[in-house]
Structure 1
Amino acid sequence: MNDDFDFIAYLKYRTTDEGGRMTPAQSGYRPQVRFDFEKSTSSGRQVVINKDLVFPGEYIETQITLMSPYLFENKLYVGLKFEFIEGAKIIGMGEILKIKNEKLKTTF
């Protein structure tokens, strides 16, 4: 498992009936991450914990490394929900469980 990540999150990929993926996502997949408070998105590399593939509809824990973490400095907190997207399509939802990158933690 990679030790260089920004946070751990609980994810659920949407099923095709929900408008999500038709095929499993591999560990290392890089969809865009979008938080409600921010219009900007960042590619977020997802390293799945203890699995290689994530099937649509499955709930999993993953380590996420943001490719543009500076966009979210002092804005993230445990329990914050987010979407992950491909183009304009929302393919799943997530919730932050633990933040490793101290620069990202909110100060309020």
Structure 2
Amino acid sequence: MADIEAKITFLKADEGGRTSPVYSGYRPAHLVNEDYLTTGVHHYYNKEKVELGETVLGTITFITPDAYPNCLWIGKIISIQEASHIVGYAEITKVFNESLIKKV
């Protein structure tokens, strides 16, 4: 089951992003905390392929979310990375996994 829903934007190549489009099932790293990168699987609503520079709504399922609880909220923007290289951003629109919701 997905952990979050997000508006996902990929940088164009001339903005420092990838050089090829991405497909549903893409598994980049995500900076969920200032000091914690984790892999997540993307699934895009009504799209199989996302062009660079495009924003799409979709879900992200993280690996081992129990390792970084209480770190996400609606409106938080997390970077999408390939190693240390930022290729896009995800703005959280829903948090499905309650253990990830930041407690106030």
TM-score (norm 1): 0.92
The aligned residue for residue 55 of structure 2 is 59
Q: How far does the alpha carbon of each residue in 1:68-102 deviate from its partner, in whole angstroms, 9 at most, with x for none?
A: 21233112110011101001210001110001011
Distance 2:59 2:41 in 1: 8
Distance 2:31 2:67 in 1: 11
Distance 1:71 1:82 in 2: 17
Distance 1:64 1:19 in 2: 22
Distance 2:65 2:73 in 1: 14
Larger mean Cα displacement after TM superposition, 40-49 or 67-76: 67-76
Supply the RMSD in Å over aligned alpha carbons.
1.0
Percent identical: 34
Larger mean Cα displacement after TM superposition, 8-17 or 66-75: 66-75
Q: 1:43 and 2:36 equivalent? A: no
3-state DSSP class of the match of 2:36?
Answer: coil
Which structure 2 segments of 5+ residues have no match? none
How many residues align? The count is 104
TM-score (norm 2): 0.95
Q: How far does the alpha carbon of each residue in 1:24-46 deviate from its partner, in whole angstroms, 9 at most, with x for none?
A: 101010000003x4311100100
Greater percentage in strand: 2
Distance 2:24 2:68 in 1: 23
